[in-house]
């Protein structure tokens, strides 16, 4: 049997909305919540690791 992983998230939810709200400016940004599969997460993590090993671009 595979070992079960537990993830903990340290966040504060002050109100439920259908968007992300910037608490300083009051701007809101529409969001979508999508379910992802284990295979999707593997691909995302591989891309993140690949991108993080690339030299960063300077736009100055």
Residue boundaries of the structural domains of the chain: 19-53
8: left (phi over 0), alpha (psi -120 to 50) or beta: beta
pTM: 0.31
For residues 37 and 54, give the distance between their C-alpha atoms in angstroms, rounded to a whole number: 26
Two tokens, residue 48: 């993140």
Which residue matches tokens 């960063």?
56
**Phi, psi values for residue 21, rounded to 5°:** -120, 125
Q: What is the pLDDT of residue 60?
A: 47
- Give the chain's residues under pLDDT 70: 1, 47-60
Could you read off the pLDDT of 29-44 as tens digits, one per residue?
A: 888 878 888 888 888 8
């Amino acid at each position: 049997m595979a070992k079960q992983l537990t993830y903990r998230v340290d966040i504060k939810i002050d109100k439920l909305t259908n968007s992300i709200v910037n608490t300083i400016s009051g701007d809101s940004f529409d969001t979508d919540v999508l379910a992802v599969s284990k295979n999707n997460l593997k691909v995302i993590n591989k891309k993140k690791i690949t991108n993080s090993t690339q030299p960063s671009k300077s736009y100055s």
